[in-house]
Amino acid sequence: MQAKAVRMRQCQLGELLFFWDNGIRLRHSGLAVDIPRRQPFGFISHAHSDHIARHELALCTPATGEFYRLRLGNRPVREVPFGQVIQTGNSRLCLFPAGHCLGSAMLWVEAEGQTLLYTGDFRLGESATAERAQVPRADVLIMESTYGLPRYRMPPRSEVVELLRQRVLWACSNDWLPVVVAYSLGKAQEVLALLGPLKLPIYVHKTIYAISEVYKKFGVKLPGYELLHENVRPPAVVIVPPGSAPSLWWPRQWKLAVTGWAIDPATPYRLRVDEALPLTDHADFDGLIGLVELVKPRRVYCLHGPEVFVEHLRARGWDARPLGRPTQYRLF
Q: What is the pLDDT of residue 21?
A: 87
Task: Give the residue among 48, 51, 43, 81 at the shortest CA–CA distance from 67.
Answer: 48
Q: Is the pTM of this model over 0.85?
A: yes
- Going by the DSSP 8-state scheme, the letter that residue 183 receives in this structure is -
Of 14-18, 102-106, 211-215, 254-258, minimum mean pLDDT range: 14-18
**Quick check: 272 pLDDT over 60?**
yes
- Kindly report, residue by residue over 145-183, the tens digit of the pLDDT: 999 999 999 999 999 999 999 999 999 999 999 999 999
- Could you give the percent of the chain with pLDDT greater than 70? 93
Q: What is the pLDDT of residue 175?
A: 96
**Quick check: 246 pLDDT over 90?**
no
Task: Average the pLDDT over 257-282 and give the result.
Answer: 97
Task: Average the pLDDT over 35-49 and give the result.
Answer: 96
Q: What is the pLDDT of residue 13?
A: 67
Question: With bands split at pLDDT 50, 70 and 90, how would you rate the model's confidence at 330?
Answer: very low
**Quick check: 9 pLDDT over 90?**
no
- Going by the DSSP 8-state scheme, the letter that residue 266 receives in this structure is T
Give the span between the Cα atoms of 215 and 40, in whole angstroms: 28
How many CA within 13 A on the CB side of residue 98? Answer: 32
Give the span between the Cα atoms of 223 and 102, in whole angstroms: 17
As a whole number of angstroms, the longest Cα–Cα distance in the chain is 78
The residues facing 179 across adjacent strands are 238, 255
Burial class (CB in 10 A: 0-12, 13-18, 19+), 142: buried
Of 12-26, 76-90, 115-129, 230-244, minimum mean pLDDT range: 12-26
Q: What is the pLDDT of residue 89?
A: 86
Q: What is the pLDDT of residue 284?
A: 98
Q: What is the pLDDT of residue 4?
A: 40
At position 264, the amino acid (one-letter code) is D
CA distance between the termini of the chain: 22
Question: With bands split at pLDDT 50, 70 and 90, how would you rate the model's confidence at 5?
Answer: very low
Give the span between the Cα atoms of 44 and 68, in whole angstroms: 9
Task: Give the residue among 211, 206, 202 at the shortest CA–CA distance from 129.
Answer: 211
The residues facing 303 across adjacent strands are 144
Give the span between the Cα atoms of 321 and 317, in whole angstroms: 12
- Kindly report, residue by residue over 281-328, the tens digit of the pLDDT: 999 999 999 999 999 999 999 999 999 999 999 999 999 999 976 433
